[in-house]
Structures are given as C-alpha cells and as structure tokens.
Amino acid sequence: MNKPYFSLRAGDPPALRTSVERVVRFEEVDPLGIVWHGRYPGYFEDARVAFGQKYGIGYLDFYQRKVLAPIRKMHVDYHHPLTFGERFSIEGILHWSEAARLNFEFVLRNRQGEVVTTGYTVQMMMDEEHNLLLTLPPFYLDFLARWRSGSLF
C-alpha cells in the first residue's frame, strides 16, 4: 500500500484492531488454484464479524437498535495470490470517525507474515426506512466515548 486508505488526524484515538485466522478452502480457488478475486469481500466480512463480536458493535447490535450499516464503498488491492490449503490471517482495523460511517481497513497476511491483500470498506448508517443518518445513534456515541477514553484497548 503506497498511502493510507484513511487519513489520520491529530487527537484521534488509535485505530481498533482484531484478527481472524482462515485456511483457503477448495471452493474459494479458481482453475489456476489461486483464490478467486470475488472471495475477498467475504474475507473482509469475516474480519468485520470478528470485530463486532470483540467490541460489541456487530450487525445484530446495529439491527436491534434499528440501524442499518450497508457498504457504500469497497476497494481491494491484490499484492500476492493465496492458494488452496494456505493458512492466512485477516486483520480488521476500524479507523476513527465522528461521522455516521464505519471506515474499515483490511490486511491479509500469509503464514510467513507477508501482506498478500489490502483493502477497505466504508459503511454508512441508515434508519429502517433507508434514510441516511446525519447524526450518530446513542449506542454508537457510547462506543466512541469508550474508544476515546481508552477502555476498549
């Protein structure tokens, strides 16, 4: 990655991180034996789910509060291929934002620790009627307060 996906501002708390381990399954590879490019959004999803479980802001947490968080933008940079049976990790990194959005970065590394894929997603927050939220919902404001205070680290 040549430049950061999300800009860092002075005074923002450090990004929150989680990691999940995976093994490339047979159904995930193409006839060349490498992971098909369309599988990477699913890998990003694995990290987002693990992140939500770790920090208490998963999809069900949003759903129970009648907040939707659809993906607005996704980007993937492929550096090296993954192959069938290969072990790899997916790191999910949530970057600070005071807007009603989730800025996730993803770093996939092979068993040797080499970066094989990077990318990001931007999720917007909406109400049940699919109206864009311009202010943060109370449960997410609480999450940001805990993040800023350092109690999530």
CATH superfamily of 16-149: Hotdog Thioesterase (3.10.129.10)
pLDDT in tens, 85-140: 999 999 999 999 999 999 999 999 999 999 999 999 999 999 999 999 999 999 99
pTM for the whole thing?
0.94
Q: What is the strand order of the sheet 87-95 is part of?
A: 16-23, 87-95, 101-110, 115-124, 71-78
Domain ranges of the chain: 16-149
Q: What are the φ and ψ backbone dihedral angles of 106, each rounded to 5 degrees?
A: -135, 140
Q: What is the mean pLDDT of residues 28-33?
A: 96
